[in-house]
Structure 1
Amino acid sequence: MEEGAILSLPQKRYYRQRAHSNPIADHCFEYPSCPEEFDWTTLYPDIKSNAVEFADIGCGYGGFLVTLGKMFPDKYALGMEIRVKVSDYVMDRIKALRTLNPGSYGNIACIRTNAMKYLPNYFKKAQLSKMFFLYPDPHFKKAKHKWRIINNALLSEYAYVLRKGGLVYTITDVEDLHKWMVSHLEGHPLFERLTEEETKLDPITPKLYQSSEEGAKVVRNKGDHFVAIFRRV
């Protein structure tokens, strides 16, 4: 940065990318062969012996990830995003937030990766306490339903990295996708749905609606929201 320049947050218009990405296609990713090989201090300089507990899968432009950082300053959260320009934006955003707010936002980070393929390469068994799937790609065509981030095979991986009592948060504005996610989670023996009362009492629930850029867009357009939270049993 030139001397005298004023640091500001990155602008999304310089990081625009198509909304959809084929998660089955081959992408160029670097990833550890196992969680023990990954150096978390490259993402969180002060993490020491702590571990990441929250995973925002398909974190988009990072709005909800930033909210998590503020809500849980003593917890470490990781955003995982497959789109290169979008993940670049989130990384630059976090870097700017850390510079503008010394001592804050050191507990959030983003990596570009394919969570459908490499989740166990980053997280140990029972490491996570919360996973978030906020406004995932609905992949409307039936032939592409196998690309949906919630399916039977992937749920077993999510159950592996989640500790007992850990929570899976889902929200979408597409009713068909909501029913799909609920039916698959309810059909899996290691997940049970929170009651309506439990869902309302969770302090994160109100943040699901507008913290993400996609959620804020749905609110502006007066669209519907469909929320479901499941517990790892």
Structure 2
Amino acid sequence: MQRVLIAARRFLLLALGFAIGSLAVSAWALSQNGRETNSDAVNGSKIAIIGQSFHVPSGGCVVYSHLVSKWSPGKHVEAGQLRCDGATIDGTCHNDHLVIERFTGSSYYCVQGVTFNNGQGMISTIQRYPNLSSTTMRGTVAGADLDQSGFTLGVKTVATAWGEATNSCPTGAAVGIFDYWDKLGAGGAWKVAKSGVFRNASDCWPTISTPATDGGFYVQR
């Protein structure tokens, strides 16, 4: 996600500045803590997300989300539950909404869906659309969908689910639950997402749980 301050704009998080692990991220990222698929041939991600607590820092945002991202040239589609204090995502997505962001390789665009309450679950899908041979990835949440083209077949593509924070870490206890997590493989079948721990920059969520049999896990501060 790219955060936009009310008074100023600067690139954050997934600006594809340099690579850490297997996902390209920006030097501006404060914290991205979660899990990333072991497979780098992902055609989709389907997940249930419950933002249990956020405690957003002043001038920042906290989001529990999943994304599908492609290597060079880098692109992504990300969807989740957003809370901000004095900031927006890309100037268009606001506090207390389900959101979807796309990254074109140079620019960010965000749309928002319905509002949500703490502890309220959401189901989101990001997948090749309209079929597995498409190079367009579509993200969906309740009340919105968003497409990004350029997901070339055969290029490394991974799915990640995480808690993100900008400006500073959450000011109190912050828990994001990923209730189940599936990935869409090359054969067109949804299967449990096998994943490894992913950490970037500050450890705002020191605890990243071991996944359950359905792929679900949680991050906790």
TM-score normalised per structure 1: 0.30
Bigger fraction of residues in strand: 2
- Tell me: higher relative CO, structure 1 or 2? Use CA pairs within 8 A at least 6 residues apart: 2
Structure possessing the higher radius of gyration over alpha carbons: 1
Bigger fraction of residues in helix: 1
TM-score normalised per structure 2: 0.31
